[in-house]
Amino acid sequence: MVILGAGPAGLVLANILRARGIDCVVLERAGRTHVENRARAGFLAPHTVRVLDRHGLADGLSLRGLTHCTCEFRTDGGRFRLDYSRLGQGEPHTVYPQQNLVTDLLAAYLHAGGRIHFGVEAVAVHDADGVRPAVSVRTPDGRPGRWRARYVAGCDGRHGAARRSLPPGTARHHHRDHGVTWLGLLAEAPPSLDAVGYATHARGFAGHMARTSTVTRYYLQYERGAAPDAWSQERIWDELDLRMRAAEYGPLRRGPVVDRSVIDLESDVIEPLRHGALFLAGDAASLISPSAAKGANLAVLEAELLARALGDALVTGDVAGLDGYSARCLEHIWRAQEFSYWMIALLHAPSGADDEARFQRRLRHSRMASLRTTRSFQDWFAEHYVGV
Ligand code: RFL
């Protein structure tokens, strides 16, 4: 079994397969330090925590993760809070930085004797519709190589080799650009609220999400095409203050911005998630905008489903799980896409003076009002917000 990519999807899959005694190898393009330091997600859904716990992979997050259950919305009509652990099915998030999760997963896999090769880039998957597919690779010294296996798991993200290797006409590629860009920031500053902060403002969206007691992620709606370093640190903090209405609701705790990335909000789904012996999971299967914090959670959910199906196929010869894998995952993926799309519409509206922009702003206002006042709407929100 060859697994491409050592992100959450690849490492959860590798750990579960390894525990079932299945021989597998992970091929990872980047170096170990890079993989263990890549800051991305932080909000883990209850289902994700249960999956990790079920497989003995939750020690780190149980020890160091923070429980999180409140959203605060700030709009030109005032602010309101939702404690989503008291709504819907009544469950909180666990906040645990993705790089810590990846570090834990890697340590567990290596401790169990798992094999991984860093600095090995998959170039293409060959003969996926045969019984012995191959993966061609480039090794750290630039030499070509080849791995053969019964199955290949493409957990190598949106731009990885797995997606590229799908023969034309074998998969449908759904893509949507939501026309919104965020500047994603990591600040070495303690969180400023004990809640996720979502601010809608005439100048654009701003978001606040705790990561640890000393690091906070912020988002600012940003001009499409602008470079990540186009704004000075001072301008970033001034803009955050303005959009989060710090003058009204209290100052933000400032600190050096240590990481910036420009994120065009996009949705991207491959359908089906299988071609012969090649299976896609995580961002390789579907990319989802970070507006609803679903990407890493879907990756873990899919990895467990795939591990179970591969395990059954390899240990008992039962391929029913593999046959149903794509349809099962796509059900979750499209529901997450739908919620993320709804969140985008809740948090953004065009700023122009034309009829369409005005209409969109009125709809957003009304959506926000329903969320502030209507219990059934809040329950729906809570269930989808923490669910995958
Ligand atoms: P990853 O984590 O990208 O890992 C893929 C791995 O594959 C390697 N790779 C290759 N290896 C070998 N050969 C090749 N040809 C290769 N090409 C690539 C890469 O080096 C990498 O190590 O994918 P995976 O495992 O599918 O996990 C997906 C998540 O990382 C992603 O969905 C989330 O980070 C999305 N996301 C969030 N998700 C949440 O659930 N909650 C959040 O709060 C959240 N916040 C975020 C996010 C994503 C963000 N970015 C990246 C836009 C915040 C941000 C800023």
| pLDDT score at 8 | 98
State residue 28's pLDDT score. Answer: 98
Token pair for 381: 């929100």
**What per-residue confidence (pLDDT) applies to 39?**
87
**Distance (Å, whole) CA 297 – CA 50:** 11
- Does 388 score more than 90 pLDDT? no
Largest CA distance in the chain: 64
Q: Which atom of ligand 1 is nearest to the CA of 281?
A: 26
Provide the pLDDT for residue 354.
94
What are phi and psi for residue 273, nearest 5 degrees?
-95, 20
Give the pLDDT of residue 273: 98
Q: Is the CB of 292 under 6 A from ligand 1?
A: no
**pLDDT band at residue 268 using 50, 70 and 90 as cut-offs:** very high
Reported as a single tens digit per residue, the pLDDT across 82-91 is 999 999 988 9
The set of catalytic residues is: 68, 198, 290, 294, 385
* Residue 358, CA atoms < 13 Å, CB-side half-sphere: 3
Say what the pLDDT of residue 90 is.
Answer: 87
How close is the Cα of 7 to the center of ligand 1, in Å? Answer: 6
- pLDDT computed for residue 249 by the predictor: 97
Banded pLDDT at 352 (limits 50, 70, 90): confident
| pLDDT higher than 90, residue 363 | yes
Q: pLDDT tens digits, residue range 19-57?
A: 999 999 999 999 999 999 998 889 999 999 999 999 999
28 Cβ below 6 A of ligand 1: yes
Nearest ligand 1 atom to the CA of 294 is 40
Q: Where exactly are the structural domains of the chain?
A: 2-67+92-175+267-343
The 8-class DSSP code of residue 86 comes to G
Q: Rounded to the nearest whole angstrom, what is the distance from the C-alpha of residue 253 to the centroid of ligand 1?
A: 28
Q: Is 297 in the pocket of ligand 1 (CB under 6 A)?
A: yes
Region of poorest pLDDT, from 44-58, 253-267, 348-362: 348-362
Tell me how far apart the alpha carbons of residues 25 and 36 are, in angstroms, rounded to a whole number.
18
Residue 292: pLDDT above 90? no
Q: How far is the CA of 39 from the centre of ligand 1 (A)?
A: 9
Task: Please classify residue 283 by burial: count the beta carbons closer than 10 Å to its beta carbon, then call 0-12 exposed, 13-18 middle and 19+ buried.
Answer: buried
Ligand 1 pocket test: which of 33, 36, 98, 218 has the largest number of ligand atoms within 8 Å of its C-beta?
98
pLDDT tens-digit series, residues 143-183: 999 999 999 999 999 999 999 999 999 999 999 999 999 99
Q: Give the per-residue SS3 of 309-357.
A: HHHHHHHCCCCHHHHHHHHHHHHHHHHHHHHHHHHHHHHCCCCCCCHHH
The predicted model scores a pTM of 0.95
pLDDT at 41: 85
Q: What strands, in cross-sheet order, belong to the sheet with 274-275?
A: 115-118, 25-28, 2-4, 152-154, 278-280, 274-275
Ligand 1 mutation target, pool 222, 283, 286, 287, most atoms within 8 A of CB: 283
Assess whether the C-beta atom of 207 lies below 6 angstroms from ligand 1: no
The pLDDT value given to residue 208: 97
Domain 2-67+92-175+267-343 CATH class label: alpha beta
- Rounded Cα distance between 296 and 52, Å, is 12
- The alpha carbon dihedral of 24, 29, 33, 37 has a sign of negative
Residue nearest atom 52 in ligand 1 by C-alpha distance: 263
CA-CA distances (angstroms) from residue 381 to 71, 85, 295? 11, 11, 18
Q: Is 184 in the pocket of ligand 1 (CB under 6 A)?
A: yes
Q: Above 90 in pLDDT, residue 223?
A: yes
pLDDT single digits (tens) 116-143: 999 999 999 999 998 899 999 999 998 9
181 and 309 in contact (C-beta within 8 Å)?
no
Percent of the chain with pLDDT over 70: 100
**Phi-psi sector, 2: left (phi>0), alpha (psi -120 to 50), beta:** beta
- Closest by CA position to 101, among listed 184, 24, 10, 174: 10
Q: How far apart are CA 15 and CA 256, in angstroms?
A: 36
